[in-house]
């Protein structure tokens, strides 16, 4: 597969064309950002760790019947992925209260949410990814009601697959965000990534944070914690 010109450069990943119009190369860089890009650092090995972590998780989801964008690894930091028309909303599932939910609602961090909660956010850094509802999404034609229903169903399916996987490794899947797109046939497909950059993971016993909050909160050992998470779920990095 021939790597072509750069298509898009995000805060931590770059997307490239290939010689196949239906396939792209997704590169994970060492860049690490928080607070809508206000805090940015380079962390050694982060691109490699997230690329391989994402591939592993997407394989688990594919095995459970969730269609994903990822085809295969092409290098330590790159994956071959299907080209999708991305839907500009993030789907967030929360099993425990943390982060913006606590700030918005004044609830205690760590409160168990039973059943898990679901939220939509518009992908827009300039507006700080505001929370939106289904009426906004349909009204502004970001997605159809049928697509919304499918994204919600798939998001909860991901939760059902991954919560036990992390639990076996002695971790709580606190919350996570997902992004979806449509393929050339119009199918809803899970895109972007699932790594500790986009979810919260706590040690089940100590509640030690093992995710990107270590970077946001200046706790250190960010990549080391990601590698620990990978090891606990059976991925040797």
Mean pLDDT in residue range 166-178: 98
For each of the domains in the chain, give its residue range(s) and CATH number, in order of start: 3-82 (3.30.200.20), 85-221 (3.30.470.20)
Q: Is the pLDDT reported for residue 37 higher than 70?
A: no
Q: Does the pLDDT of residue 39 top 90, yes or no?
A: no
The whole-number pLDDT of residue 164 equals 98
For residues 179-205, average pLDDT: 97
Q: In the chain, at which residue ranges do the beta strands (DSSP E only) sit?
A: 3-9, 13-18, 23-28, 31-34, 39-42, 70-73, 78-82, 85-96, 112-122, 131-132, 171-182, 188-191, 199-203
Straight-line distance from the first to the last Cα atom of the chain, in angstroms, rounded to the nearest whole number: 25
Is residue 38 scored above 80 in pLDDT? no
Judged against a pLDDT cut of 90, whether residue 93 lies above it is answered with: yes
Whether the pLDDT of residue 183 is over 90: the answer is yes
Query: pLDDT for 1-29, tens place per residue?
Result: 799 999 999 999 999 999 999 999 999 99
pLDDT surpassing 90 at residue 178: yes
Residue 190 has what pLDDT?
Answer: 98
* pLDDT value of position 1: 78
Cβ(179)–Cβ(197) below 8 Å: no
CB 205 within 8 A of CB 170: yes
pTM: 0.95
- 122: tokens are 């518009």
Quick one: average pLDDT of 82-99?
Answer: 98
Work out the mean pLDDT of the chain and round it to a whole number.
Answer: 96
pLDDT (tens digit per residue) in 99-122: 999 999 999 999 999 999 999 999
């Amino acid at each position: 597969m021939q790597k072509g010109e750069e298509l898009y450069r995000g805060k931590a990943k770059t997307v490239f064309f290939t010689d196949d119009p239906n396939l792209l190369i997704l590169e994970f860089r060492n860049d690490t950002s928080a607070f809508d890009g206000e805090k940015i650092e380079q962390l050694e090995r982060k691109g490699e760790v997230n690329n391989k972590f994402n591939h592993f998780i997407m394989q688990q989801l594919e095995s459970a019947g969730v269609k994903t964008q990822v085809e295969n690894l092409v290098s330590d930091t790159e994956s071959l992925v299907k080209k999708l028309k991305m839907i500009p909303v993030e789907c967030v599932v929360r099993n425990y209260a943390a982060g913006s939910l606590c700030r918005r609602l004044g609830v205690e961090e760590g409160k168990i949410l039973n059943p898990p909660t679901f939220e939509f956010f518009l992908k827009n850094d300039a507006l700080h990814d505001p929370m939106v509802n289904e009426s906004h999404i349909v009204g502004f034609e970001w997605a159809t009601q049928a697509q919304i229903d499918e994204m919600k169903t798939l998001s909860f399916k991901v939760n059902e697959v991954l919560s036990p996987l992390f639990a076996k490794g002695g971790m709580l899947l606190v919350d996570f965000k997902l992004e979806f797109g449509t393929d050339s046939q119009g199918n809803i497909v899970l895109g972007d990534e699932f790594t500790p950059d986009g979810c919260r993971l706590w040690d089940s016993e100590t509640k030690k944070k093992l995710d990107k909050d270590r970077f946001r909160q200046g706790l250190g050992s960010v990549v080391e914690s990601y590698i620990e998470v990978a090891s606990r779920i059976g991925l040797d990095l």
